[in-house]
Amino acid sequence: MSQANQAEWNYLWTNLEDKDEWLFRAWIHPNKPEDWAGKTVMDGGCGPGHHARIAARYASRVVGVDLNTSPIAKEKLADLSNVEIVSGDIAKWDTGERFDVVYSVGVVHHTKDPNATAAHLKTLVKPGGRIMFWLYSREGNGFVYWVLEPLKKYLLDYFPRSFVMALSHLLTVVGSILMHTFYRLPLPESFPYYTYCKNLRGSTYQRRLLNVFDKLNAPTTHLITEAQARSWVEGWKDVHVDFYVGTSWRVSATRP
């Protein structure tokens, strides 16, 4: 199923950067880039190429595919001879090549049909190769589902991106204050966003701003249930599905 080009992503990656390698490593856990030596890797929805640059340190070849921001990624990764950036819809892109590793971090839940996109990405994995997804979860994200998504749909989508960015700054400041005050209280681990705030407490302001802006800016967001995430790797080997910091799913498996 084809996606439509969305200008919101160009605005995001023109104005913000993701430099936190530790998060990428956390999102693909228990997989490690160091294990990709000599392998071919596909970055499904590469954005500006920040994760492809990490993968390129270890893999023999990295192909980054993105429908919206491939020109940005090409410019940022022009110094890397083992990286190829192409413009394409990850829900249907297929040149016939199959990869040792296919990962899609924070992208499939923004596509028109996450189930179809995940199913297609799996076809790009070689037998014995590894698929990896990191996804926003339906579980643990009541505030996003009941407040932010309706706010975005019925109000923010009609405002210029500069206004959404200004609002994101405000919410990031408020969130940062709460993170370092209220969320330092001895709350139970199950308290909404407690683990999430604890995890991001040592992150940069820009990283937290990026998180907030993504929630308010993304034209399409599907929150993925555990059952849905598990269904994507059903029948594969060495399956790993876990609930990361109470707000997302880390999913990976090996193709039989």
* Residue 163 CA to its chain's centroid (Å): 23
Please identify which residue in the block is written with the tokens 């993105």: 66
Instruction: Give the pLDDT confidence of 103-114 residue by residue, as tens digits.
Output: 999 999 999 999
Backbone angles phi, psi at 36, to 5 degrees: -95, 10
Full set of structural domains in the chain with CATH: 7-138+222-254 (3.40.50.150), 142-217 (no CATH)
Torsion of CA 108, 109, 112, 116, to 10 degrees: 50
Q: Give 18's contacts (C-beta < 8 A, 6+ positions apart).
A: 47, 48, 50, 207, 210
Q: Is pTM, for the whole model, over 0.85? A: yes
Q: Which two tokens stand for residue 68?
A: 């919206």
CB 63 within 8 A of CB 70: no
pLDDT above 90 for 93: yes
The single-letter DSSP state of residue 137 is B
pLDDT above 90 for 164: yes
Please identify which residue in the block is written with the tokens 């950067």: 17
Burial class, 42, CB count within 10 angstroms (exposed 0-12 / middle 13-18 / buried 19+): buried
pLDDT above 70 for 161: yes
* DSSP β-ladder status, 125-136 and 99-105: parallel
Backbone angles phi, psi at 176, to 5 degrees: -65, -40
CB 245 within 8 A of CB 237: no
d(C-alpha 253, C-alpha 237), whole Å: 6
Neighbouring CB atoms inside 10 A of 167's CB total: 16
Instruction: Give the pLDDT confidence of 25-41 residue by residue, as tens digits.
Output: 999 999 999 999 999 99
d(C-alpha 220, C-alpha 200), whole Å: 24
∠ CA 24-220-118 to the nearest 5 degrees? 60
Q: Which two tokens stand for residue 20?
A: 């936190």
Region 158-186: mean pLDDT is 97
Give, for 230, the enclosing helix (H) or strand (E). helix 226-232
pLDDT above 80 for 5: no
Instruction: Give the pLDDT confidence of 121-149 residue by residue, as tens digits.
Output: 999 999 999 999 999 999 999 999 999 99
d(C-alpha 232, C-alpha 115), whole Å: 7
